[in-house]
Structure 1
């Protein structure tokens, strides 16, 4: 008994094109997701950046009443070029700030690049405990004579171009 095979021919030829309808649906869903999520990713951090102005050294007023705390790489503190032990730091700073009005209680910090970050934070906390109203960071090392009054040891001559006062804090 021999059976013959019969082939069924499809009524339409096979379609070799890509069906783009599901692709468009997926792309539109992704577009909507990104449109909703993108505004949530934008978070602003408010940073007060002081305005800078190039002033020739001859015109810069010498303010000898500024308090400048310097932290060396070995962790030693100095207030206006006078070394201070960590135990006496807050008390000495408190005595120096007590003579000033609240708005004039400004302390600038200069830290060595290799200084311990924890000691710098401790210096900030100590200044706040001592009654500092404004804390400022100097980005460049302040010359030794800039903080000492004229006539005292370490004072810079009046015409020294390297002696610049510390930058003023931003309001």
Structure 2
């Protein structure tokens, strides 16, 4: 009787997955990104020789304004103020084209109502860039 060298097909699912093509694709992408990343970084750094202005800007916009809430008032960039002076200062700041970040510091012994009143004033003058300063517990 002649022998048959053909393998019989089984009805079971093939549990082996050929991942060679996926590994090749991963290496190809890795090489592409390794080559293109330095080129992108060089493209973003353009040396530009800017012209010099004959007049300097007289009113520079501060990047941040520090407001400290005390038990007896407020200190704005080191100047002690009451609530009416604070409102005038916040109105002046809100009129700037690019409003600065307001950094708020409150003494631990200060009443919470004073901080809430400051937050209400900031909301009233539409000053939304706010930073609440704290210290670490170290």
Q: TM-score, normalised by structure 1?
A: 0.40
Larger radius of gyration between Structure 1 and Structure 2: 1
- Which structure's residues are more often strand, by fraction? 2
Per the normalisation by structure 2, the TM-score is: 0.48
Higher relative contact order (CA 8 A, sep 6+): 1
